[in-house]
Amino acid sequence: MPFEIVRNNLVNMEVDAVVNTANPNPVIGSGADSEVHAKAGAELLAARKKIGYIDFGAAAITSGYELAAKYVIHTVGPIWSGGSYDEEQILASCYRSSLALAKNHQCESVAFPLKFPKSLALQIAVREISSFLIENEMQIYLVVFDKDAFELSEKLFKSVSSYIDENYIRSTMLKEYDNDSLHDSSLKTRWD
């Protein structure tokens, strides 16, 4: 399965890239950002300073230094303010920007942390990751740390897995046939 929800600490993930929830300015924030910098070492902050300001919803990439991951993708998520300041759109953009960077750097695996109101964040993560996986090959982990978030994610995982599988199969079948064979009504009925 190209998408898994795991209970772990982001800094312990052995993947090509971990996604760090960064501050827009090149400083060490709290939570996951602090843990990523602590494990990666001082070189990460120096590299982050070279990047400078990162806009909300955007992402930038550095080496992973002392992390097990080859890269750290720094993305600036929204600050939850009740949902009336485009927080959902900004978070969705974080996923899209981060996945695009991972793809451009030939990453085969990437791990994302789960952020703010967990049920809403999980819905956004599932939607964006599912959309990406329909067109791309990559192992993606959504890393949750606390028990409640993991239990919530387990409830949704079966439907997510089914959705990705169905759409991946349909997309693959459509790509395998040229446009002439798509005019065959039996094929169209079967896959449309």
Residues annotated catalytic, as ranges = 33
Cα 140 to Cα 118: distance, rounded to the nearest angstrom: 18
Give me the sign of the Cα torsion angle 90, 84, 116, 6: negative
Cα 177 to Cα 163: distance, rounded to the nearest angstrom: 22
Residue 158 burial by CB count (10 A; 0-12/13-18/19+): exposed, middle or buried?
exposed
Whole-Å CA distances, 63 to 28, 41, 57, 71: 16, 11, 20, 4
Question: CB of 168 within 8 A of CB of 133?
Answer: yes
144 DSSP β-pair partners: 7
